């Protein structure tokens, strides 16, 4: 059975914004990411990049996930994420730990906008497991006319 994206002339490209606790394993991140993609009828082939907050630059699980998928991990500081915060649910715990009220959603939006050159949109609510959160944002297709 073909996936929903097989019928599209240009495959949907998305990015994943990831937040995680210290020491989160690559396996936990990958499992959450695959679950998030599957919920939207997507696969890792639709992924154009991964994003997280600069605070997590040395997080081994995030680095290992990017390496395993062959994708760049883009990192954003809290000031760069500020424009993407108003429409997402904030967490006092996340704010205290990272300086940003939310991580997964604003990181996904920031990277999708950077790659697409225009405002991006989230694909539904973020997903979570015990140690991580994942939000997907679609990259606006380039105008080829």
Q: What is the pLDDT of residues 69-97, one digit of tens each?
A: 999 999 999 889 888 875 666 665 655 55
Instruction: Tell me which residue range forms the domain holding 128.
Output: 11-138
What CATH number has the domain bearing residue 49? 3.30.420.180
In a domain, 61, yes or no: yes
86 within a domain of the structure (yes/no):
yes
Question: Would residue 1 count as lying in a domain?
Answer: no
| Residue 62 covered by a domain | yes
Whole-structure pTM value: 0.83
2 found inside a domain:
no
Domains held by the chain: number: 1
User: What ranges in the chain are assigned the alpha helix state H?
Assistant: 26-39, 60-69, 78-81, 92-98, 104-116
User: Does a structural domain hold residue 37?
Assistant: yes
Query: Mind listing the pLDDT tens digit for each residue in 33-66?
Result: 999 999 999 999 999 999 999 988 999 999 999 9
């Amino acid at each position: 059975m073909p996936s929903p994206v097989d019928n599209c002339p240009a495959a949907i490209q998305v990015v994943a914004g990831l937040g995680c606790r210290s020491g989160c394993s690559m396996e936990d991140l990958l499992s959450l990411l695959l679950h998030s993609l599957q919920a939207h009828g997507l696969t890792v082939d639709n992924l154009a990049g991964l994003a997280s907050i600069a605070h997590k630059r040395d997080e081994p699980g995030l680095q290992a996930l990017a390496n395993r998928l062959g994708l760049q991990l883009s990192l954003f500081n809290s000031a760069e994420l500020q424009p993407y915060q108003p429409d997402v649910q904030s967490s006092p715990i996340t704010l205290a730990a990272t300086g940003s009220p939310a991580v997964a959603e604003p990181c996904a939006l920031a990277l999708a906008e950077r790659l697409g050159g225009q405002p991006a949109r989230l694909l539904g609510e973020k997903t979570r497991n015990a140690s991580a959160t994942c939000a997907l944002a679609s990259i606006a297709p380039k105008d080829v006319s």
